[in-house]
Amino acid sequence: MAEKIVWINGREQNQLSVFDRGLAYGHGVFETILFRSRKLQLLDLHLQRLEQGLQCLGIEYSLELIQEELERLILNHPALPNGIVKIIITAGDSERGYAWPQPMQSTRILIWSQYDDAQAAQLKQQGAHLLLSSVRLAHQPLLAGIKHLNRLEQILIRREVEQHQCDEALVLDSNEHVIEANSANIFMVHQGQISTPQLHLCGVAGVMRRYLLETFLPFLDFYAEEKIISLSELYQADEVFLTNSIWGVVAAVRLKRANNEAISWSSGSITQKIQQALLRQEV
C-alpha cells in the first residue's frame, strides 16, 4: 500500500493546474478526517463545515458528488488501513486577477495518507506542553469558523512551536483573548465549569469541538459555555484540554510564556473522564 493515495476530480492522479485558484489565492477549503476501522469519523460534521466554507467563499460544489467519490476511494482500496483522509475543494481554474466567472468548475481533491498515532498516544499519556505564541490572529468575522486554505498565520505559529520544542501553541487574537491552539481548539475547566472561546471573530470551529459541545458533553452530563476568555482566566483554570478530530482530547499541562516562566495545570478528573469516554466510543 502506498503512503498516499491522491484523487483529483474523481480520478487517481496527482497533477493540478497552475491556474487553480487554490494555488494562486488560497481560494478553497479543506477537511482532515480520521479514517479508522474503514469508517470516516464524524463525517457528517466534517461535510457540514465543508459546505459552510464553500458557501462562504462562493465556490460551486456538489456534496453528493464529494460523498460518492469518498465512497469510491474507500471501495477501490479494500485493504486501506487506518489513516487520514483530507478533502480539498478549490474554486478551480481562472484567469489572472481576483475576480472569477460564474458558474465555474471547482476542483475536488481527496488524499488518503498513512498516520502514525504515536504522537497522539504520547500526548494523551503525558499531556501537551504549550507555547504562548507571539502571533496574534487577525479579526475577520466573514471567515471566522471555516477551514479555508489560507493558513499563513498557522505556519508562522508552528515555526515558533518548533523553535521552542513544544507540542502546541496557545494563540490569542488582537484583543489578547484566548482563541485556540495552533491545530486544535481549547477548553478550560474552572470550579467544575467547562468553557471554550467564542469564535465569532477568528479561529477555526473544530469538528471535535462541535461534537463535544452539542452531543458528547451533554451525554456525560456536563455543560460547556462558549465565552470570551482572557489569558488571566486561563491561568487560573483547574484543567485545560485541547481537541481536534485526529487526537480527540489531550490535556494541556504546561504553558511556556515569552519570559520563560511557565504555568502548569493538572490532567484533572474531568479531562480524564471525557478523554476515556471518547476513547471507548466509535464516532
E strand residue ranges, the chain: 4-8, 11-12, 28-36, 39-40, 83-90, 107-114, 128-137, 168-173, 178-181, 185-190, 193-197, 224-227, 239-244, 248-256, 262-264
Q: What is the mean pLDDT of the chain?
A: 93
Query: Is-contact 138 144, C-beta < 8 A?
Result: no
- What distance in Å separates the CA atoms of residue 228 and residue 269, rounded to the nearest whole number? 24
Region 3-19 average pLDDT: 92
Q: What is the pLDDT of residue 282?
A: 63
- What distance in Å separates the CA atoms of residue 179 and residue 201, rounded to the nearest whole number? 9
Strand 193-197 and strand 224-227: the pairing is parallel
Catalytic residue among 32, 107, 243, 271: 32
pTM of the model: 0.94
Region 16-21 average pLDDT: 93
Q: What is the pLDDT of residue 281?
A: 79
Per-residue pLDDT of 95-140, as tens digits, reads 888 888 777 889 999 999 998 888 788 888 899 999 999 999 999 9
Per-residue pLDDT of 148-184, as tens digits, reads 999 999 999 999 999 999 999 999 999 999 999 999 9
Catalytic residue among 31, 124, 147, 239: 147
Catalytic residue among 69, 168, 180, 239: 180
Q: Strand pairing partners for 225?
A: 195
Region 269-281 average pLDDT: 91
280 — pLDDT class (breaks 50, 70, 90): confident
DSSP-based three-state secondary structure for 184: coil
Q: What is the pLDDT of residue 118?
A: 80
Q: What is the pLDDT of residue 283?
A: 65
* Active site (annotated) includes residue 147: yes
Q: What is the pLDDT of residue 43?
A: 97
Fill in the amino acid letter for 107: T
Per-residue pLDDT of 202-260, as tens digits, reads 999 999 999 999 999 999 999 999 999 999 999 999 999 999 999 999 999 999 987 77
* Active site (annotated) includes residue 32: yes
- What distance in Å separates the CA atoms of residue 193 and residue 225, rounded to the nearest whole number? 8
Q: What is the pLDDT of residue 279?
A: 84
- What distance in Å separates the CA atoms of residue 121 and residue 125, rounded to the nearest whole number? 6
Q: What is the pLDDT of residue 161?
A: 96
User: Is the model's pLDDT at 39 over the cut of 70?
Assistant: yes
- Among 131, 115, 140, residue whose Cα is nearest residue 26: 140
Task: Out of 25-29, 69-73, 78-82, 201-205, pick the least confident.
Answer: 78-82
2 — pLDDT class (breaks 50, 70, 90): low
